[in-house]
């Protein structure tokens, strides 16, 4: 038997309503680790450049990995597809859906073709069935979960579903896993296109570990690193005890909020985290075996016009969205969180699209006539909520924003594209750029739009606190100088390769704190003890590098090149008005050259070179590139 | 007006406290005089008198200053910066965020 793995892929043909099981190739386990890495190879092999994202031949893949079902897996699932904008649509999510899939006996689920009418997939150990979902269609994600539980009669069944946004093909709709864990920007859109309302899973098995004693020893060390007293990471107290919202203040002070569509780095009357914690939080609410009780919280609004709104909130992401549109009210932003979660819509698409429209409105590019009479000014709470509802329902001006701000700018014109905050056509995900050059570079080169989880966290621990026996393939002191382009190529390469390993095990990048982000030995110990592999550290990191190169090969095959590895014009050309922070300018090109050089990619085109691909045992990519005339 | 014999004007900084630091201080911000103080080390010592245990959080015994904490300084006319040196000067009007 394969330790850690179940060794099975479940393939489901929605058109025929048939499911089949196949063995997971051992070569894939060794070369791509699992989860995101194996999703990559399935997508690369089966969804080529000739396949339109909305074709029945596009696939939707849900993947777990060898460490899923153990405490290290933390409930992480990777969901992947060809995104409507043709790059890789991939995202991880937590919760408890992924371990349940393992317990049911499967590592991966590959969804193929399209159903004629709405369906949901029912998995109960060996019992797999594509069932009618007419009653579910049109319902929000919470209603779907309850309906599925009622229909199956299994109260603790785990449900992954789309909401109305996915059903209506909003461009970056997500999949919602169990308690408001969202993942896979654009994957919900393709799931909606396939008329797959939900995947319900119930499993009664477990996961076998090859060397439990050593696994437990490594896990104890893992938890020790995350302990407040032992940590060398400023983020641990925030994440572990007081919620990521506490960092709002710090981020505001360094001017790295995208306030008012990133025209400013700070906002007056900012949300006060203590108000949130004391007035709205009901209890901690984390995913499977998550060691950070403060990362997820259940909130309820008890009074006011949004009384009764509730939900789960994670990582502080929603609070960081508030300054983008000038919102200073907790109840507004929490109501908005509820709306997004129930609709299965991507909060980043919504907030940056509305912020872009707000700036266009205040500059007179669009008027009340365009916005269906809504006074779309920054800081207008009601307008923000109303426009979000319009995007979800694809009503009027909301239908335009539902296509994404890039497409909306193409339609509106009049210079509105000047104010877009998009990369590769997709809206940003909060991360600063003008005062964090490592983040600017990492966002520019990301293979699935500006996805921050592929290289997160971006900070090395305080370099002066780094234990002397840890060596890293970059200069930690230069890496810590966040507004210098120096040595960022090596740092970002390391971030991408190491996080590709962690996401493929899988584990959650938000616990990658302290030395866990720079010393991969402990992750290797966990992997070897779980699977029985005898992998070396070099081989381990090489697997991550292989995953990143395969992802780059995928988007190269789709036509993406160096010109697409760029940043919003505002970041390149404008200073942050209230912070004295200059624009990035030509520093991006300096960093791109450095990054491609360290990657072994062609500097002019960003295409991986043949010798690098062969070194990584990606010979089939070389053949593909030749056959397609790419090189 | 004769100013030669006037006492030196009092200097102030504004302090903000985040998360677990706010729990220690019981407040999220305050203005404080830095008369007679020149460095962040001296300011931390002054805060230790008000909030016992404060110094140990930012300068752990045997550890590195701000290895698990941060002090962000916003100063007029400059880009905000992290204080990583205990001898870093504090100046009139600084906004210091203890995180």
Spell out which residues of chain A touch residue B84, defining contact as CB-CB under 8 Å.
Answer: 462, 464
Inter-chain touch A231–B68, beta carbons under 8 Å: yes
Asked if A200 and A158 touch (Cβ cutoff 8 Å), the reply is yes
pLDDT of B74 > 90? The answer is yes
- Comparing alpha-carbon positions, the chain A residue that sits nearest to B85 is A464
Out of A142-156, A216-230, A242-256, A555-569, least confident range = A242-256
Inter-chain touch B95–A253, beta carbons under 8 Å: yes
Q: What share of chain A is helix, strand, coil (3-state, %, to 5)?
A: 45, 15, 40
Mean pLDDT of A549-569: 98
Q: Is the peptide bond before A506 cis (omega within 30 degrees of 0)?
A: yes
Identify which of A234, A272, A580 has the shortest CB distance to residue B70: A234
Please tell me the predicted confidence (pLDDT) of residue B6: 66
Identify which of A237, A250, A483 has the shortest CB distance to residue B20: A237
Write the CB contacts of A21 (distance below 8 Å, at least 6 apart in sequence): A8, A9, A10, A11, A106
Tens digits of per-residue pLDDT, A481-494? 889 999 999 999 99
CA gap A358, A261 in Å, rounded: 8
Spell out which residues of chain A touch residue B82, defining contact as CB-CB under 8 Å.
Answer: 254
Identify which of B16, B18, B64 has the shortest CB distance to residue A465: B64
Out of A275-289, A380-394, A588-602, B47-61, least confident range = A275-289
Pairing relationship of beta strands A108-112 and A8-13 according to DSSP bridges = parallel
Residue A591 to chain B, least CA–CA distance (Å): 22
Identify which of A587, A569, A566 has the alpha carbon closest to the alpha carbon of residue A424. Answer: A566
User: b/e per residue, A196-225, with b = 16+ CB within 10 A?
Assistant: bbbbbbbbeeebbbbbeeebeebbeebeeb
Please tell me the predicted confidence (pLDDT) of residue A316: 65
Identify which of B68, B80, B99 has the shortest CB distance to residue A579: B80
CA gap B79, B57 in Å, rounded: 26
Spell out which residues of chain B touch residue A243, defining contact as CB-CB under 8 Å.
Answer: 19
Identify which of B68, B79, B97 has the shortest CB distance to residue A236: B68
Tens digits of per-residue pLDDT, A53-69? 999 999 999 999 999 99
pLDDT of B8 > 80? The answer is no
Angstrom CA distances, A42 to A35, A39, A68, A189, A324, stand at: 11, 5, 19, 19, 37
pLDDT band per the 50, 70, 90 thresholds, residue A262: very high
Identify which of A228, A254, A274 has the shortest CB distance to residue B80: A254
Identify which of A237, A246, A253 has the shortest CB distance to residue B72: A253
pLDDT band per the 50, 70, 90 thresholds, residue B23: confident
pLDDT of B86 > 90? The answer is yes
Inter-chain touch B80–A232, beta carbons under 8 Å: no
- Comparing alpha-carbon positions, the chain A residue that sits nearest to B98 is A250
Asked if A442 and A454 touch (Cβ cutoff 8 Å), the reply is yes
Question: From chain B, which residues contact A within 8 Å (Cβ)?
Answer: 16, 18-20, 22-23, 28, 63-64, 66-70, 72, 74, 77-80, 82, 84, 95, 97, 99
Inter-chain touch B68–A237, beta carbons under 8 Å: yes
User: b/e per residue, A478-505, with b = 16+ CB within 10 A?
Assistant: bbbebeebbbbbbbbbbbbbbbbbbbbb
Tens digits of per-residue pLDDT, A139-186? 999 999 999 999 999 999 999 999 999 999 999 999 999 878 899 999
Please tell me the predicted confidence (pLDDT) of residue A574: 96
Spell out which residues of chain B touch residue A580, defining contact as CB-CB under 8 Å.
Answer: 77-79
Asked if B39 and B86 touch (Cβ cutoff 8 Å), the reply is yes
Inter-chain touch A464–B18, beta carbons under 8 Å: no
State the DSSP string of B9-43.
Answer: PP-EEEEEE-HHHHHHHTSSEEEEE-TT--BHHHH
The number of helices, as runs of H, and strands, as runs of E, in chain A is 26, 17
- Comparing alpha-carbon positions, the chain A residue that sits nearest to B57 is A229
Residue B6 to chain A, least CA–CA distance (Å): 35
| Bigger pLDDT: A432 vs A21 | A21
Spell out which residues of chain B touch residue A253, defining contact as CB-CB under 8 Å.
Answer: 16, 72, 74, 80, 95, 97
Please tell me the predicted confidence (pLDDT) of residue B7: 63
Mean pLDDT of B17-45: 93
Inter-chain touch B97–A461, beta carbons under 8 Å: no
Please tell me the predicted confidence (pLDDT) of residue B5: 63
Mean pLDDT of A1-14: 93
Out of A249-258, A384-393, A549-558, least confident range = A249-258
pLDDT band per the 50, 70, 90 thresholds, residue A241: confident
Question: From chain A, which residues contact B within 8 Å (Cβ)?
Answer: 228, 231-234, 236-238, 241-243, 246-247, 249-250, 253-255, 272-274, 435, 461-462, 464-465, 483, 579-581
Q: What angle do CA A118, A65, A43 make, to 5 degrees?
A: 55
Identify which of B16, B20, B68 has the shortest CB distance to residue A232: B68
Residue B29 to chain A, least CA–CA distance (Å): 11
Residue B36 to chain A, least CA–CA distance (Å): 26
Identify which of B67, B77, B79 has the shortest CB distance to residue A462: B67
Asked if B11 and B92 touch (Cβ cutoff 8 Å), the reply is yes
Q: Torsion angle, CA of A544/A461/A184/A12, rounded to 10 degrees?
A: 40
Identify which of B45, B48, B52 has the alpha carbon closest to the alpha carbon of residue B90. Answer: B45
Inter-chain touch B99–A580, beta carbons under 8 Å: no
CA gap A294, A283 in Å, rounded: 9
Pairing relationship of beta strands A196-202 and A119-124 according to DSSP bridges = parallel
Q: Is the dihedral of CA A123, A127, A128, A132 positive or negative?
A: negative
Its pTM surpasses 0.90 = yes
Inter-chain touch B64–A462, beta carbons under 8 Å: yes
Asked if A344 and A161 touch (Cβ cutoff 8 Å), the reply is yes
pLDDT band per the 50, 70, 90 thresholds, residue A108: very high
Q: Is the dihedral of CA A560, A561, A565, A568 positive or negative?
A: negative
Spell out which residues of chain A touch residue B95, defining contact as CB-CB under 8 Å.
Answer: 253
Mutation for testing the B interface, residue in A226, A233, A249, A464 having most B CBs under 10 Å: A249
Tens digits of per-residue pLDDT, A446-466? 999 999 999 998 877 778 888
For A42, other C-beta atoms within 10 Å of its C-beta total 18
Please tell me the predicted confidence (pLDDT) of residue A296: 83
Identify which of A465, A530, A621 has the alpha carbon closest to the alpha carbon of residue B66. Answer: A465
Please tell me the predicted confidence (pLDDT) of residue B89: 96
Mean pLDDT of A351-363: 98
Inter-chain touch A580–B64, beta carbons under 8 Å: no
Please tell me the predicted confidence (pLDDT) of residue B20: 85
pLDDT of A49 > 60? The answer is yes
- Comparing alpha-carbon positions, the chain A residue that sits nearest to B62 is A465
Mutation for testing the A interface, residue in B13, B22, B67, B78 having most A CBs under 10 Å: B67
Contacts 24+ apart (CB under 8 A), A128-136: A128/A10, A128/A12, A128/A19, A129/A19, A130/A12, A130/A14, A130/A17, A130/A18, A130/A19, A133/A195, A133/A197, A133/A198, A136/A161, A136/A197, A136/A198
Fill in the DSSP letter of residue A246.
G
pLDDT band per the 50, 70, 90 thresholds, residue A284: confident
Write the CB contacts of A344 (distance below 8 Å, at least 6 apart in sequence): A140, A141, A161, A162, A163, A164, A165, A166, A173, A174, A175, A176, A182, A188
Angstrom CA distances, A74 to A57, A110, A503, A519, stand at: 31, 22, 11, 20
Mutation for testing the B interface, residue in A232, A237, A582 having most B CBs under 10 Å: A237
pLDDT of B49 > 60? The answer is yes
For A257, other C-beta atoms within 10 Å of its C-beta total 25
- Comparing alpha-carbon positions, the chain B residue that sits nearest to A579 is B79
Fill in the DSSP letter of residue A324.
G
Identify which of A436, A510, A452, A438 has the alpha carbon closest to the alpha carbon of residue B82. Answer: A436
Residue A283 to chain B, least CA–CA distance (Å): 17
pLDDT band per the 50, 70, 90 thresholds, residue A479: confident
Spell out which residues of chain B touch residue A465, defining contact as CB-CB under 8 Å.
Answer: 63-64, 67-68
Q: How far is CA A153 from the centre of its chain?
A: 32
Mean pLDDT of A544-569: 98
| A·B CB contacts under 8 A | 77
Asked if A289 and A207 touch (Cβ cutoff 8 Å), the reply is no
CA gap A324, A264 in Å, rounded: 9
Angstrom CA distances, A482 to A115, A267, A281, A301, A432, stand at: 49, 22, 34, 38, 11
Angstrom CA distances, B96 to B15, B17, B18, B44, stand at: 5, 9, 11, 11
Inter-chain touch A237–B78, beta carbons under 8 Å: no
Residue A573 to chain B, least CA–CA distance (Å): 18
Angstrom CA distances, A207 to A79, A460, A507, A527, stand at: 21, 33, 15, 13
Cα-trace Rg, chain A: 23
Tens digits of per-residue pLDDT, A592-622? 999 999 999 999 999 999 999 999 999 999 9
Angstrom CA distances, A242 to A239, A290, B91, stand at: 6, 15, 30
State the DSSP string of A285-300.
Answer: ---TT-S-TTTEEEEE
Q: How many residues does chain B have?
A: 99
pLDDT of B2 > 60? The answer is no
pLDDT band per the 50, 70, 90 thresholds, residue A566: very high
Q: How many residues does chain A have?
A: 631
């Amino acid at each position: 038997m394969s330790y850690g793995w179940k060794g099975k892929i479940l393939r489901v043909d929605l058109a025929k309503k048939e499911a089949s099981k196949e063995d997971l190739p051992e070569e894939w386990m060794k070369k791509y680790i699992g989860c995101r890495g194996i999703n990559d190879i399935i997508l690369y092999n089966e969804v080529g450049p000739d396949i339109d994202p909305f074709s029945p031949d596009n696939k939707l893949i849900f993947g777990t990995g060898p460490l899923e079902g153990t405490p290290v897996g933390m409930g992480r699932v990777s969901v992947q597809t060809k995104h409507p904008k043709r790059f890789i649509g991939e995202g991880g999510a937590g919760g408890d859906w992924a371990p349940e899939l393992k317990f049911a006996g499967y590592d991966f689920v590959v969804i193929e073709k399209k159903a004629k009418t709405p369906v949901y997939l029912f998995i109960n150990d060996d019992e797999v069935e594509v069932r009618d979902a007419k009653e579910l269609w049109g319902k929000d994600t919470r209603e779907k979960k309850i309906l599925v539980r009622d229909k199956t009669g299994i109260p603790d069944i785990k449900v992954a579903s789309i909401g109305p946004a996915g059903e209506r093909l909003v461009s970056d709709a997500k999949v919602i896993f169990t308690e408001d864990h969202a993942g896979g920007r654009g994957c919900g859109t393709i799931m909606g296109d396939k008329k797959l309302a939900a995947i319900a899973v119930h499993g009664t098995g477990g996961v076998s570990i090859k060397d439990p004693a050593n696994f437990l020893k490594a896990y104890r060390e893992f938890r020790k690193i995350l302990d407040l007293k032992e940590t060398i990471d400023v983020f641990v107290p925030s994440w572990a005890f007081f919620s990521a919202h506490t960092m709002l203040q710090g981020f505001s002070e360094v001017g790295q909020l995208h306030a008012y569509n990133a025209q400013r780095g700070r906002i007056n009357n900012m949300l006060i985290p203590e108000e949130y914690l004391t007035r709205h939080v009901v209890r901690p609410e984390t995913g499977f075996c998550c060691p950070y009780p403060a990362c997820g919280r259940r909130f309820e609004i008890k009074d006011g016009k949004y009384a009764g709104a509730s939900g789960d909130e994670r990582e502080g992401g929603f609070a960081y969205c508030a300054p983008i549109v000038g919102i200073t009210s907790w109840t507004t932003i929490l109501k908005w969180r509820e709306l997004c979660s129930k609709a299965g819509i991507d909060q980043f698409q919504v907030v940056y699209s509305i912020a872009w429209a707000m700036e266009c409105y205040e500059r007179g590019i669009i008027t009340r006539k365009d916005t269906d009479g809504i006074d779309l000014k920054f800081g207008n709470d009601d307008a923000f909520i109303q426009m979000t509802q319009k995007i979800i329902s694809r009503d009027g001006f909301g239908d335009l924003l539902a296509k994404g701000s890039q497409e909306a700018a193409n339609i509106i014109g009049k210079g509105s594209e000047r104010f877009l905050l998009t990369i590769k056509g997709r809206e940003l995900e909060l991360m600063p750029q003008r005062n964090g050059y490592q983040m600017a570079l990492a966002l520019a080169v990301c293979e699935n739009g500006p996805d921050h989880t592929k290289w997160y966290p971006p900070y090395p621990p305080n370099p002066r606190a780094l234990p002397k026996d840890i060596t890293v393939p970059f200069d930690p002191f230069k890496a810590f100088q966040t507004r210098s382009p120096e040595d960022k190529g090596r740092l970002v390469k390391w971030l991408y390769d190491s996080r590709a390993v962690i996401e493929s095990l899988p584990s959650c990048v938000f616990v990658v704190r302290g030395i866990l982000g720079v010393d991969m030995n402990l992750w290797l110990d966990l992997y070897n003890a779980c699977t029985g592999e005898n992998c070396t550290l070099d081989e381990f990191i090489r697997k991550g590098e292989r995953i990143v190169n395969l992802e780059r090969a995928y988007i190269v095959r789709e036509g993406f090149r160096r010109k697409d590895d760029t940043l919003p014009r505002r970041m390149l050309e404008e200073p942050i008005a209230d912070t004295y922070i200059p624009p990035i300018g030509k520093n991006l090109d300096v960093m791109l050259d450095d990054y491609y050089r360290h990657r072994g990619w062609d500097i002019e085109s960003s295409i991986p070179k043949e010798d690098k691909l062969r070194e990584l045992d990606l010979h089939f990519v070389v053949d593909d590139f030749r056959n397609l005339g790419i090189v | 007006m004769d100013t030669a014999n006037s006492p030196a004007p009092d200097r102030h900084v504004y302090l903000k406290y985040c998360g677990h630091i706010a729990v220690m201080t019981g407040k999220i911000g305050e203005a404080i005089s830095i008369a007679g103080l020149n460095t962040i080390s001296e300011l931390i010592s002054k805060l230790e008198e008000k909030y016992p245990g404060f110094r140990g959080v930012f300068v752990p015994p045997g550890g590195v200053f701000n290895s698990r904490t941060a002090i962000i300084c916003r100063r007029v006319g400059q880009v905000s910066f992290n204080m990583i040196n205990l001898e870093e000067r504090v100046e009139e009007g600084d906004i210091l965020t203890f995180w």
